[in-house]
Amino acid sequence: MIEMKDILVIVDVQKGFTKDYTVEKIPVIEDLLSRRVFDTVIATKYWNTPDSNISRLMGWKDLCTEEEQDLVPEIESSFGNAPAPDYDSDYRYEEQDLSSILGTDSGIVIDNSDTFHLHYDQSNDEWAILYTSADGGTFKSTADAWCLYDDPNEYYYPEAYPSDQYDMYTVAFTLYDTEAVGSLPDWCQSIADSGDDIWLNLYVSKTDDTLLIEDMDGIGLFGTTDPVPDYRGPNM
């Protein structure tokens, strides 16, 4: 007879990943730990290096320092901060030209009022992000973009977007020259202050022109956590 055990897995609750929109989850984990009802508790730690694929190809160099890699203090008190083991990664990906998917102008109309607009400047190879609220507030930023195709043999496709009907892509925008003015959703000022990247999932239909964009981190980009339709070119 197989013995069943209760296991709690705490994934990458580290200083380098702590943001305004994630810190509220830490007390929930503390509460679970304090109950001492689990047979086994496992805490994982993500670590990056300056010469990793993520650093070299995406330019994302967070989680390279011991300080960033440490568990947050509330979790550290239960686990300590043992160094992560060395391992060989077979992680690989196929980088894509984002403009070939989105075109040079695309965007989203939110609640029939606010707009989220993406523009690609081919001459400078850079993106512009513009969010305009119904009250006249504006968030604008220049950005470098990175896009990869999510191979269904290596990535999980949501049930609503099966790989036989959709291609899925992961997109990261690294922002600079960011400005937020006027009445805007909370995420606009938070991103302007922190300089955090914007992460998206794209679902591109294989049978028609449908393209859906998902707020990967759930920070409120489009007013919903569900994927929303993107309008390209003349539809904007």
- 124 domain residue, yes or no: yes
Looking at residue 23, its pLDDT comes to 85
232 pLDDT band, cuts 50/70/90, is low
Looking at residue 164, its pLDDT comes to 94
Q: Which of 28, 51, 79 is the last residue of a domain?
A: 79
- 84 domain residue, yes or no: no
Pick the range with the lowest mean pLDDT from 82-86, 146-150, 176-180: 82-86
162 pLDDT band, cuts 50/70/90, is very high
Tokens of 35: 């109950």
Same domain (yes/no): 69, 106:
no
- 191 domain residue, yes or no: yes
Same domain (yes/no): 73, 155:
no
Distances, alpha carbon 74 to alpha carbons 33, 62, 70, 79, 210, in Å: 10, 21, 11, 10, 44
Q: Quick one: 15 exposed, middle or buried, by C-beta within 10 A (0-12, 13-18, 19+)? A: middle
DSSP 163: T
Q: Identify the three-state secondary structure at position 140.
A: strand
Q: How many CA atoms lie within 13 A of 58 on its CB side?
A: 24
Distances, alpha carbon 102 to alpha carbons 1, 57, 220, in Å: 54, 21, 21
Same domain (yes/no): 171, 145:
yes
User: Comparing 34 with 184, which gets the higher pLDDT?
Assistant: 184
Tokens of 71: 């568990």
Contacts of 138 (CB under 8 A, 6+ apart): 130, 131, 132, 179, 180, 181, 182, 184
- 88 domain residue, yes or no: no
Per the CB < 8 A criterion, the answer to whether 75 and 13 are in contact is yes
Same domain (yes/no): 111, 219:
yes
Same domain (yes/no): 71, 19:
yes
User: What is the number of other CB atoms lying within 10 angstroms of the CB of residue 45?
Assistant: 21
What is the C-alpha separation between 41 and 10, in angstroms, rounded? 8
- 72 domain residue, yes or no: yes
Determine the structural domain holding residue 22 and report its residue range. Answer: 7-79
Looking at residue 236, its pLDDT comes to 40
Q: Identify the three-state secondary structure at position 25.
A: helix
Q: Which helix (H) or strand (E) segment is 176 a member of?
A: strand 166-181
Same domain (yes/no): 112, 201:
yes
Q: What is the pLDDT of residues 186-225, one digit of tens each?
A: 999 999 998 889 999 999 999 998 999 999 888 999 988 8
Q: Which of 54, 79, 104 is the last residue of a domain?
A: 79
Same domain (yes/no): 122, 231:
yes
What is the C-alpha separation between 67 and 18, in angstroms, rounded? 12
Q: Enter the pTM of the model.
A: 0.65
- 1 domain residue, yes or no: no
Number of domains making up the chain: 2
Same domain (yes/no): 28, 66:
yes
234 pLDDT band, cuts 50/70/90, is very low
Same domain (yes/no): 188, 124:
yes
User: Comparing 195 with 142, which gets the higher pLDDT?
Assistant: 142
Contacts of 72 (CB under 8 A, 6+ apart): 13, 14, 15, 18, 26
Looking at residue 55, its pLDDT comes to 76
- 47 domain residue, yes or no: yes
User: Comparing 6 with 92, which gets the higher pLDDT?
Assistant: 6
Same domain (yes/no): 67, 127:
no
Q: Which of 28, 44, 79 is the last residue of a domain?
A: 79
Same domain (yes/no): 102, 17:
no
- 142 domain residue, yes or no: yes
Same domain (yes/no): 189, 231:
yes
Q: Identify the three-state secondary structure at position 3.
A: coil
82 pLDDT band, cuts 50/70/90, is low
User: What is the number of other CB atoms lying within 10 angstroms of the CB of residue 159?
Assistant: 6
Looking at residue 79, its pLDDT comes to 63
Q: How many CA atoms lie within 13 A of 188 on its CB side?
A: 22
Mean pLDDT for all residues in the chain = 85
